[in-house]
Structure 1
Amino acid sequence: MTWLDLTNPDIETRRVILGELIAEINGAPRSTGMSPFWQEEELMFLQTWAIVAGVKSQGLTL
């Protein structure tokens, strides 16, 4: 089972996702942000996360 199978997209959505990823590998401008690449004969991508946490201010104090 592939990562795409896990999301269970309909046929048209699957076609669009794969088309965008493959186009990006072939030199099209980055549109997915997924950094796709081929590993042997399998389409892969890198997923990068950023987590930002904050605390609500209690008001401005000078």
Structure 2
Amino acid sequence: MTSASFAIAAADHGSSYQAARAPDIKQATLSRNIPNLERPIRTLIFERPCAGLTMTLAGKSYLRAVRPR
């Protein structure tokens, strides 16, 4: 899976834990890949409250660009 695929899965499920319940996704891998994706574009895709993940406006824009149609 690509980093964009991990971000899409996390956005669709609302948390890295829930996304990790999908086949072929491990929570540790997903949690590592999202910051690796955010670092080069120098913006947060997700806000990380105590529970779950919340998309930022920049994250919503990014996912619209990378989500398969």
TM tier, shorter chain?
Answer: 0.3 to 0.5
- Judging by fraction of residues, say which structure has more strand: 1
RCO (CA 8 Å, sep 6+): is it higher in 1 or 2? 2
Structure having the higher Rg: 1
